[in-house]
Amino acid sequence: MADFDAIVVGSGCAGPVAAYELAKAGRSVLVVERGNYCGAKNVSGGRLYTHALRAVFPDFAESAPLERRVTRERISLLAPDAATTLEASDALMSDERYESYTVLRARLDPWLAGQAEQAGAEYVNGIAVESLIMADGRVSGVRAGGDEISADVVLLCDGVNSLLTPQAVGATVPRPDQVAVGIKQVIELPAQVISDRALCAPGDGLAWLFVGAATGGRVGGGFLYTNVDSISIGLVATASDLAESPVPIYQLLEEFNQHPGVAAMIAGGKVVEHSGHLVAEAGYDAMPPLVGDGVLLAGESALMCINAGYTVRGMDLAIAAGQQAGRSAAAALEAGDTSAAGLGGYRTALEDSFVLQDMKTLRRFPHFMESTPRMFGQYPKLARDAMRSLFLVDGTPIRPMRKQLLPLAKQVGVWNLVKDLNKGMRAL
């Protein structure tokens, strides 16, 4: 008999939810998390769409450590000396169906782990799973901290840099063009100052994404999220492209923080946290198999993450996948069949849910970003020049708008504009 019904590797977003579902179903479950405490090693920019959390914990709002409800969205095209910004605020952003909140992982992850523990999951922190035990071609446990622990099913929720998925399901390690490097600072400021600067009511917040000079014209973008009394600010840049940048990413972040379009938001703040992490960018087509004999993958270990430029989503996908993984593993245990076939309901459940459907819908987006460098260099400058032609008045006679804008479009090439627009529409 195995030591546990199930072992969950990793307690970020997917892991604790999977463990919660298994424990709720009456299964013995051990969670192994390499961080000394949950959240110690985890990073996100910081906006969680809460629909997935609500599906697992309907009363989450009573105790989850949410920062601010996002009621204002901004997207800026950044030229080195200018920002062209689209802003949206909408009463529907406060509707519980669409709600999203800023979060800090150092607070969210322990809360998620607490839910799993309260349901009966056992936790071991501060130990990494080094490898999987294989018996008769199937996963039958883990090796961690010099011990071997067996289980009928192992759930790999160990995130983007999984060292275990190659052994489990033959996954290949993502290439540098399939992952991005994320770097982030948390900057403390008084809550009222943040509300005033973000033009938000107390408790409400701003999600702001940036394209262009944020990453020095490289493939990627910047983000800024307002928390209760801090601002999360950072960059996400494709690793292969960044490797060719003469400017290292930490310097790009320094320059981004000083950009006139950004600096006023964080002025006078104190940096209290620095972090860095990889982000999966490869999209649906690079996902590994989600099940093997005795094993399931949930969250970014299976590259479940969507970076669509205007939004980054990995946490809601990981939570929903963790829920389905836990439920499918519990059903397979009940049926006494944890082979790949017995666990196959997991893939079907994800195909029926937004997780795989959204990944599929946006499957072309990673290639669009990579193959459209004008998005990060020329277009932000084009937007700046167009705004200049509209808003800069110095007393010299103005020219008709078409005569001002057409030469700007010609700088990029009208045909290039049409092609990129068409490509973008097909990718989204």
Residues at the interface with ligand FAD (CB under 6 A): 9-15, 32-35, 41-48, 128-129, 157-159, 163, 182, 184, 234, 236, 277, 279, 299-301, 305, 312-316, 318
Instruction: Between 14 and 189, name the residue whose CB sits nearer to ligand FAD.
Output: 14
CB of 310 to ligand FAD, least distance (A): 12
For 145-290, strand residue ranges (E) read 147-156, 179-188, 204-212, 220-226, 230-238, 270-280
CB of 53 to ligand FAD, least distance (A): 11
Output helix, strand, coil percentages for the chain, rounded to the nearest 5: 40, 30, 30
* Separation CA 325–CA 295 (nearest Å): 10
CB of 137 to ligand FAD, least distance (A): 22
* Separation CA 300–CA 105 (nearest Å): 15
CB of 2 to ligand FAD, least distance (A): 19
Instruction: Between 83 and 359, name the residue whose CB sits nearer to ligand FAD.
Output: 359
Instruction: Between 160 and 383, name the residue whose CB sits nearer to ligand FAD.
Output: 160
Instruction: Between 14 and 286, name the residue whose CB sits nearer to ligand FAD.
Output: 14
Three-class secondary structure assignment of 40-56: CCCCCCCEEECHHHHHH
CB of 127 to ligand FAD, least distance (A): 7
77 in Cβ contact with 212 (< 8 Å): yes
* Separation CA 326–CA 321 (nearest Å): 8
* Separation CA 107–CA 328 (nearest Å): 28
* Separation CA 248–CA 253 (nearest Å): 9
Instruction: Between 84 and 323, name the residue whose CB sits nearer to ligand FAD.
Output: 323
CB of 37 to ligand FAD, least distance (A): 10
Instruction: Between 100 and 195, name the residue whose CB sits nearer to ligand FAD.
Output: 100
